[in-house]
Amino acid sequence: MNLETYAENTWCKGCGNFGLLNSFKDAVNELVEEGALKAENMVISSGIGCHGKTVDYLNLNSFYSLHGRAISCVSGMKIANPNLTVVAFQGDGDAFGEGIAHVIFSAKRNMDAMLLVHDNMVYGLTTGQFTPTSDKGFKGKSTPRGSIEEPMNPLALVLASGGTFVARGFVGKRKHLVGLFKKALLHKGFSFVNVLQPCVTFNNTYSHFRENTYILEDEGHDPADFQAAWDKALETERIPIGLFYQVEKPTFTDLLLEDLVPAERRKPPSTAISEIISER
Amino acid sequence: MVQDLLTVIVGGEAGHGVKKSGNVISILMNELGRYVFEMDDYPSLIRGGHNFSVVSSSTSPVYSHYMSADIIVCLDKRSVDMHKDRLKDGGSLVYNADTVTLDPGTGLPMKTWIKDIKGIPLMAGTIGVAAVSALCGVEFSFLERIFKANYPRGLEANVELARMVYERMKDDEGKFELATAETRPGHLLAGNEAIALGAAAAGLDVYIAYPMTPASSVLHYLADLSKKLGMAVVHPETEIAVINMALGSAYAGARTAVGSSGGGFALMHEAFSLAGMSETPLMVILASRPGPSTGVPTYTCQGDLDFALNVGHGEFPRIVLSPSGTNQAFEKAAELLNLVWKFQVPGILLTEKHLGESWMTTSIDPESVEITEPSLYDGPLEQYGRYEKTDSGISPMLFPPVKGTVVKASSYEHDQKGITTEEAEKVVEMQEKRYRKEKAIREEMRNLLTVATYGEGSKSLVTYGSTTLSALEAVKNVDDVRVVQVIFLRPFPDWALQEALSGSDVIVAELSISGQFENLLRSKGFDVSAHIRQYDGRAFDPPELAARIREATQ
C-alpha cells in the first residue's frame, strides 16, 4: 500500500531517519500483506525534533504531539480504543530527557504500545547539543568542552522498568530492523525499539556502528532469559542489536477496560446516574 | 419556639470521625426535610491537628454555611478554645468532659464511655451526632434508623453510645424545636460529585487525573463509580502525562476530562495549548486553592481566575466557566463537555474548594441532559481533511479506524489535511479558521445561561463561582440588593451582563487580594462602585458579608 504523503522531505541527505522510515514502511506493508495488521487501525504519534517529521511522511492516522509526550498521547488513544495499534516515534532527547517519566511508566504499566526511539545521540533540529545518550566528552553547542555526564543506557532502563519487549536496531542493518519492527508491532504489550542512527550533520556514527555492532540472533541469545538480556544490555565493547527480551504479560488496557471501548460508548447507562443520586 | 435556621459545629482531632459526624448530621437534617449546607474545614495532614465541620440547615434553601452556631460539639479541648466564642446566645456547647471542664455547657465523658464499651476513638464523632440529635428532639428510633444506614460497622456500639448520650442529656432533649418537612428537599452531594456526575451525564468516557486537593475527590468519586458508569478512570505518573493522554484519548473519539488544582494544572499548560492548536476537545476541571505555589491546599480562594482565563501560549479560542452550587455545577459540567466537543476547543470548569468539597442539598435530573454529538464528516473519504476550512471554523471530525482516509492532528501549524506548514498564507488561513470558532462560541452562548440574576434590588452584588453561594445567603438580610453571577468568564458574556445590571450600582465580592474579577469587569467596560475582598482561605461568613455589603452601599 502507498504510505507516501505529499509532504516535502526536509531531512539532510544521508540522514539515518531515512533508513528508519523505510524500514518502518516495509514492516507495515509486509504485515498488512500478511493480513496481520490493518493500516486503518494504526495511529502513530511523534515528539518534536527531526524524528518528529515521520508523521508527516507517513500516510497513516497520526497525532504530531509535543516534545517528550508521544508515548503518553498514544497511551490515551489506546485507553480510548484498545482496538487501535499505536506507535510513538520519539528522539533520544525527546524520550530520555523531556519525556523519560512516560517511558518508564509505559513500561511499568505494560501499555500496549510501540515506542520507537530514533537514537542519534544528539539534538539535530536544535543544531547540535548533547543528549541523554551522548558519550561522555561529546562536544556539542551546550557542552563545548565536552559532556561531563555519563550516557544513559536506554535498554537497561526499559528492562528495569518492566518492558515486555526490548530491542535495539541499527539503520545500517535494514533487513534486521524491519524484522524487529514487525515483531514489535505484533507484540501485545509495551514494545521498545531503540534504533541507533547517525546524524550526518552533527554526529556521524555510521562507521562506528558498522564496525562495532553484532546481531544477537546470530549468537544464539535467548530473548526469554531476562538475566541474559540484562547482561547484553550492559555490554559496551561490542554493541549487540536485536531482540534482547520478550515476555507476554497482561496489558494495562486489558486490565483497565475488560470489554469496555470508551470511544465507542456514546452514552452512560441511562439509569446509572439516577441510581447513584437516589442513593444519596 | 420553632426554629428554622440551625447551625451546628463539630470539632475535634483528625481521626475522631469529625467529617463523618458532620456528614451524618447533614443526613439527619436532610431526613427531617431540611436543606443543608455542610462545610468541612481540615488542614493538610492525616492525624492530629484540628478538623471541624459546620452544618447549616433550614426548611428553605441554605446556600452557604454560617460561622456562628446554635450547637457546638467539641470532641477535644482545642475545639473548645477555637469555637466557644462562635456560640450564639441561647446556644448549647457540648464538650468532652474527659479533657476539659466548662461552665456553662454539657460535659460528656466521651473517652470513658468509648473505653467502657470497648469502642474506638472514631466513635467520639458518633457521640457528637447523638448529642445534636438529642438537643433537636429527634426521636431515638429515628436516629437509630439513620445510624443503621450510616454506621454499618460497629452499629451496636454506636447505638449504645447514642443511648448513653440521650440518657445523660434528657433535661436538654428537644431544646431546639426544629421546623421539619415531610419529604427530603433533595439529595446530598458535594460540588465535585455534582461536577463528575454532570460530565458523566453528558457522556464522559474517560477521566484522567493526578491527585491534588481540592480536585482529588472528582478522581476518587469517578474511580469508585467507573464500573457502574462504564467509564475508564486513570491515574498516571504526572499531570503532564494526564493531559497528553487525555488528548490522545479525545483524538480517538472518547469524551475525556482531566482535573487538578493550580500547581497541577500549571504543569498542563503546554498541552492545553496543544489542545487549542490540534483542536482536540478537552474538559479541564480546575479546583483552585489559595496560592501562590503550594499555598493553602485544603482551603478556598479565587486567585486563579487570571490563570484560567489566560493559560496556554499562543492564541486560540477556549471556554472558561464557573458554577456556583451543586445544581448549577451538574448542569454546567454537562454543558461544558458538550461545548468543547461541539467547538473542538479546550474548556475549563473553574471552581473552588467551597463548592467542590461542601455538601449541599441538590435536585438534579440526569435524564434532562442531552448529549451534543460533534460535527462528523460524511463527505467523500478521499477528500477528508481534519482541518477543513469552514465558515464556522469547525472542521468535521472522524475517529480512527476509518478505511479510506487518514486523520492527522498536529501541534505544528498545519494545512487542512494536518500536514505541517510554515507558509505565510496557510498560517493565516488556519489562525483565522480557529479564531472563527470564537465567534461561533459567542453566538452559541446567546442561547445559554451565561449570567444569572437572583432576587431583586436596585444594587447589584456581582460575583462568580462559589462566592455566589455566600452572596445569596448574605443578601437574605440586606435590603435592595440582588446577586448577579457571571457564569461564563471566557468568552465574556458582556451583552448578558449589561442586561442583568441594567445600569445599577455594582459591588463586586470575590476571594482575591488583587481583585482579579473586578479587574476583568472593568476591562470589559463595566463600572464598579465598591468591592469586597477576602483572601484568608475561608469563604465569606454570610452575616459578615451582609455587614460589608451594607457598608459598601451606604
Tens digit of each residue's pLDDT (9 = 90 or more) over B140-191 = 999 999 999 999 999 999 999 999 999 999 999 999 999 999 999 999 999 9
Same domain, B421 and B483: no
Has residue B497 been placed in a domain? yes
Residue A1: inside a domain, yes or no? Answer: no
A8 touches chain B (CB under 8 A): no
Q: Is residue A8 part of a domain?
A: no
User: The CATH number of the domain where B491 resides is what?
Assistant: 3.40.50.920
Here the CATH number for the domain that contains residue B16 is 3.40.920.10
Report the residue from B188, B241, B254 with minimal CB separation from A262: B254
Is B309 exposed, middle or buried, given 0-12, 13-18 or 19+ CB atoms closer than 10 A?
A: middle
A44 to chain B: closest CA residue: B408
Show which of B445, B479, B495 is a domain's final residue. Answer: B445
Could you tell me if residue A5 is inside a domain? no
Q: What is the pLDDT of residue B370?
A: 92
Task: Say if the Cβ atoms of A66 and B271 lie within 8 Å.
Answer: yes
CB contact under 8 A, A280 and B189: yes
Whether residues B127 and B54 share a domain: the answer is yes
Q: Which pLDDT belongs to residue A3?
A: 96
The answer to whether residue A9 is domain-embedded is no
Domain boundary among B424, B445, B466: B445
CATH number for the domain that contains residue A90? 3.40.50.970
Question: Are A45 and B248 inside 8 Å of each other by CB?
Answer: yes
Looking at CA atoms only, how far is residue B189 from chain A in angstroms? 7
A3 part of contact set with chain B, CB < 8 Å: no
Are B202 and B347 part of one and the same domain? Answer: yes
> Based on the structure, what is the number of domains in chain B?
4
CB atoms within 10 A of CB B363: 14
Judgement on whether residues B243 and B362 belong to the same structural domain of the protein: yes
Grid coordinates representing B90 are: 441561647
Measured in degrees and rounded to the nearest 5, phi and psi for residue A228 equal -65, -40
Cα–Cα distance measured from residue B326 to residue B188, given in angstroms and rounded to the nearest whole number:
9
B243 assigned to some structural domain: yes
Q: Which residues of A touch B371 (CB under 8 A)?
A: 266-267
CA distance B383 to B392: 19
pLDDT computed for residue B419 by the predictor = 98
- CB atoms under 10 Å from CB of B54, counted, come to 27
d(CA B151, CA A223): 55
Whether B375 maps to a domain, the answer reads no
**Residues B400, A61 contacting (CB under 8 angstroms):** yes
From chain B, the residues in CB contact with A84 under 8 A are 252, 400-401
Task: Please say whether the beta carbons of B468 and B441 come within 8 A.
Answer: no
* B205: chain A residues, CB-CB within 8 Å: 80, 262-263, 265
B333 phi-psi bin (left φ>0, alpha ψ -120 to 50, beta other): alpha
Q: What is the CATH number of the domain that holds B214?
A: 3.40.50.970
**pLDDT for the residue numbered A113:** 98
Nearest to A77 among B208, B248, B410 (CB): B248
Residues B308, B250: contact at Cβ < 8 Å? no
Q: B446: which DSSP letter?
A: T
pLDDT above 90: residue A268 = no
A 201-240 residues with CB below 8 A of B? none
CB contact under 8 A, A5 and B419: yes
Residue A262 to chain B, least CA–CA distance (Å): 5
Does residue B88 share a domain with residue B21? yes
Q: Within an 8 Å CB–CB cutoff, is residue A144 touching chain B?
A: no
Residue range A55-84: mean pLDDT, rounded: 98
Number of H helices, E strands in chain B: 19, 23
Helix locations, A83-241, DSSP H: 92-93, 100-108, 154-161, 174-186, 206-212, 226-233
What angle do helix axes B155-168 and B123-135 make, rounded to 10 degrees? 40
Window B:471-500, CB contacts with A under 8 Å: none
Range of the domain at A160: 16-278
Question: Does one domain contain both B362 and B388?
Answer: no
Q: Do A43 and B252 touch (CB under 8 A)?
A: yes
Which contiguous run of DSSP H or E holds residue B362? strand B359-362
CB contact under 8 A, A62 and B408: yes
pLDDT score, position A1:
78
pLDDT band (50, 70, 90) for residue A276: very high
Q: Measured between CA atoms, how close is B476 to chain A, in angstroms?
A: 28
Please check whether residue A72 touches B, CB under 8 A: yes
Give chain A positions within 8 Å (CB) of B275: none
Is the minimum CB–CB distance between B455 and chain A shorter than 8 Å?
no
Model confidence over A79-129: pLDDT tens digits? 999 999 999 999 999 999 999 999 999 999 999 999 999 999 999 999 999
A54 contact B CB<8A: no
Interface of B with A in 260-289 (CB under 8 A): 270-271, 274, 278
Determine whether the interchain pair B245/A76 forms a contact, defined as Cβ–Cβ distance below 8 Å.
yes
What local confidence, expressed as pLDDT, does residue B3 receive? 85
Domain assignment present for B102 = yes
pLDDT by residue (tens digit) across B328-340? 999 999 999 999 9
Give the number of domains in chain A.
Answer: 1
For the purposes of burial, counting CB atoms within 10 Å of the CB of B522, is it exposed (0-12), middle (13-18) or buried (19 or more)? middle
- For residue B468, the one-letter residue type is T
B525, B498 contact by CB (below 8 A): no
Residues of chain B below pLDDT 70: 1
User: Is B124 a member of any domain?
Assistant: yes
Residue B274, phi then psi, degrees to nearest 5: -60, -40
Does A1 reach chain B within 8 Å, measured CB to CB? no
DSSP letter assigned to residue A95: I
Q: A51 touching B, CB under 8 A?
A: no
Q: Looking at the structure, tell me whether residues B43 and B59 fall in a common domain.
A: yes
Q: Are B426 and B531 found together in one domain?
A: no
CA distances (Å), origin B20, targets A98, B25, B27, B128, B488 = 43, 9, 10, 10, 35
The answer to whether the CB atoms of A84 and B254 lie below 8 A apart is: no
**How many Cα atoms are found within 13 Å in the side-chain-facing hemisphere of B210?**
19
Instruction: Examine the domain organization and report whether B315 and B195 are in the same domain.
Output: yes
Number of Cβ atoms within 10 Å of the Cβ of A100: 16
Helix ranges (H only) for chain A are 16-33, 54-57, 70-80, 92-93, 100-108, 154-161, 174-186, 206-212, 226-233, 252-257, 272-278
CA B266 vs CA B216, B236, B270: distances in Å: 16, 16, 9
Residue-number span of the structural domain to which B349 is assigned = 188-368
Residue B374, domain member (yes or no): no
The answer to whether residues B488 and B415 belong to one domain is: no
Q: Is residue B517 part of a domain?
A: yes
Nearest to B228 among A66, A265, A272 (CB): A272
Residues of B in contact with A59 (CB under 8 A): 406
% helix, strand, coil for chain A, step of 5? 40, 20, 40
Put simply, the answer to whether B245 touches A75 (Cβ < 8 Å) is yes
CB within 8 Å: B248 and A62 = no
Contact A76 B403 (CB under 8 A): no
Residue B373 lies in a domain: no
Let me know whether B225 and B362 are in one domain.
Answer: yes
- Residue where a domain stops, chosen among B178, B203, B235: B178
